[in-house]
Amino acid sequence: MKNGIHPSNYRFVVFQDMSNGTSFLSKSTAPSRENIKWEDGNEYPLIKLEISNTSHPFYTGKMKLVDTAGRVDKFMNRYKDHIGKKK
């Protein structure tokens, strides 16, 4: 690793997967405005995740469609004429 390019302000942070509620404690430099009380009784900054290894289809083996902000619906509406012609 190159010297002087990596941050030195690592701290413990709780990451919480919002799709299934699982949490884990790790070190990070990511900023956070929220705090949470962890299992050890200490309070740590909280980073909320939309998806993590506990909910991602690649890691779970379950094919689950994760649609945030209606992206799939927007795509289907935009290209419905093209999709309908191929069927």
- Report in angstroms the alpha-carbon separations of 70 from 50, 51, 66, 77: 14, 16, 10, 11
Listed in sequence order, the DSSP H helices in 1-87 are 57-60, 71-78, 80-86
- Span between the terminal Cα atoms of the chain, in Å: 53
> What are the boundaries of each domain within the chain?
11-86
Average pLDDT rounded to a whole number, residues 64-70: 61
Residue 58, both tokens: 């690649």
What mean pLDDT is reported for the chain?
Answer: 82
pTM: 0.63
Contact call for residues 45 and 34 (beta carbons, < 8 A) = yes
